[in-house]
Structure 1
Amino acid sequence: MMIKEQTDREEVPFWFDPLCPWAWITSRWLLEVERVRPVRAEWRIMSLAHLNLVQREGKGLSAEYRDLMTKAWGPVRICAAAAEHAGRGVLGPLYTAIGIRLHNQRRRDDPQVIAEALAEAGLPESLAAAATSTEFDQLIKASHDEAFNEVGLDVGTPVLRIGGTALFGPVITPAPRGEAAGRLWDGLVLVAGTDGFFELKRSRDRSVKPSFE
């Protein structure tokens, strides 16, 4: 199959929180789709911390998960600061650099992760200070609301938009590769184009697995 040039592809907005392992796997699937279908991922940020602690007011959260959500502010704030500094195009490389370290290498408690990721994406280390600042929270909220005003608050991340329809998911593990990734994309295009379609779901029978780089 001949794939269109990068400038002649359908843009697919994809909202992620860098801390979410499920969003990470789905993002790697979408990159695989780029290889076999005429699409291009457009990376955007959402915030699990904002969703769970602010919009859902922390209801039903265990103490452990509440603590995780508090920590989740840091990485997404750094992504917002990076986008403000260098443009939204930097989100893809930065997300990949952070995700490989957090999810593939499982370095979730390593304080060097952010500095290394910023350096790999060609960004100044000073952006790491955004993790504990509220300076970029309105930018996060604006990007977050763009997705969740449409998809609703009873879902999480990832969220993507296909042909004008925002969908939660797909939630997958591991990420399919090659033409298998393309077939999953084709299925999502079909359901996104079906008026009145809302949900397909089954219980998870496996744990999350780090995806390929």
Structure 2
Amino acid sequence: MDATFFFDPACPWTWRASRWLVAVAEARGLRVEWRAFSLGILNEGRTTPEYAELMAASGRALRLVEALRAEGRHHDVARFYTELGVRSHDAGNPLSDKIVAAAVTAAGLEPAAPALDDEHWDRAVHESHALAYASAGPDIGSPVLMVPGTRRGIHGPILTEVPGVDDALTIWDSLLPLLRLETFHEVKRGRH
């Protein structure tokens, strides 16, 4: 794989970053591994009741993500996440079990759907989350980006909108050298 993208499907910032990475992957012929990052695990015990349904739907979706990844079905994970994001973030709807079910159907993944409710996959979600967190943490969230040949990943990029292809490639070409530098730690500016 040329990049590993750890994501929580409930996060709109992560959705924009994923669309950036999809554009880069298409333009450069990169192979992307899609992995689970759980905001539910990150915020365990601190999630307010208003986000309970959102976090539960995300947790179910992440089980399927890790089940598909375990079979090397990265394209299926990408297709599933795209269907989730279109129905949730692009449509302005919070992630829900109904959206997860619709995304499974739209992505043609009904045979894999039992993983959504199989608690066996919770361990794989926790392991994926722990890998991402150890790579880029502490004090991070979703997404986390890793590339081969580096010891550490980064949280982000955090994008206010999905850039066009030229800007997407500029961001990628700027991030790669930073990711490969052991001395690089952080670049940040406030969100508006």
Equivalent residue for 1:142? Answer: 127
Where in structure 1 are there 5+ consecutive unaligned residues?
A: 1-9, 206-213
* Superposed CA offset, 1:89-130 (max 9, x none): 421111111111011012326653222211222211672x55
Equivalent residue for 1:80? Answer: 66
Which runs of structure 2 are paired with 1:155-170 in the superposition (5 Å)?
A: 155-162=140-147, 163-164=149-150, 165-170=152-157
Computing the radius of gyration over CA atoms, which structure comes out larger, 1 or 2? 1
Counterpart selection for 1:173 from 160, 165, 171: 160
Equivalent residue for 2:40? Answer: 49
* Superposed CA offset, 1:109-165 (max 9, x none): 6653222211222211672x5545422101111222222122123101110113423
Counterpart selection for 2:6 from 3, 15, 26: 15
Counterpart selection for 1:199 from 179, 186, 191: 186
Residue 37 of structure 1 pairs with residue 28 of structure 2: yes
Alignment: residue pair count: 190
Which runs of structure 2 are paired with 1:111-122 in the superposition (5 Å)?
A: 111-122=97-108
Bigger shift: residues 141-150 or 101-110? 101-110
Bigger shift: residues 178-187 or 142-151? 142-151
* Superposed CA offset, 1:61-116 (max 9, x none): 55545664455323222333444577344211111111110110123266532222
Q: Cα distance, 1:40 vs. partner?
A: 2.4
Kept in 1, the 8 Å contact 2:9–2:15? The answer is yes
Q: Under a length normalisation based on structure 1, what TM-score does the superposition of the two structures give? A: 0.77
Kept in 2, the 8 Å contact 1:97–1:120? The answer is yes
Give the fraction of aligned pairs with identical amino acids, expressed as a percent. 34
**One-letter amino acid matched to 1:36:** A
Q: Alpha carbon RMSD of aligned pairs, Å?
A: 2.5
Counterpart selection for 2:85 from 78, 86, 99: 99
Q: Under a length normalisation based on structure 2, what TM-score does the superposition of the two structures give? A: 0.85
Q: Cα distance, 1:171 vs. partner?
A: 0.1
Would the alpha carbon gap of residues 144 and 123 (structure 1) be closer, same or farther in structure 2, given more than 3 Å must change?
A: same
**2: distance between equivalents of 1:135 and 1:79?**
13
Kept in 1, the 8 Å contact 2:143–2:157? The answer is yes
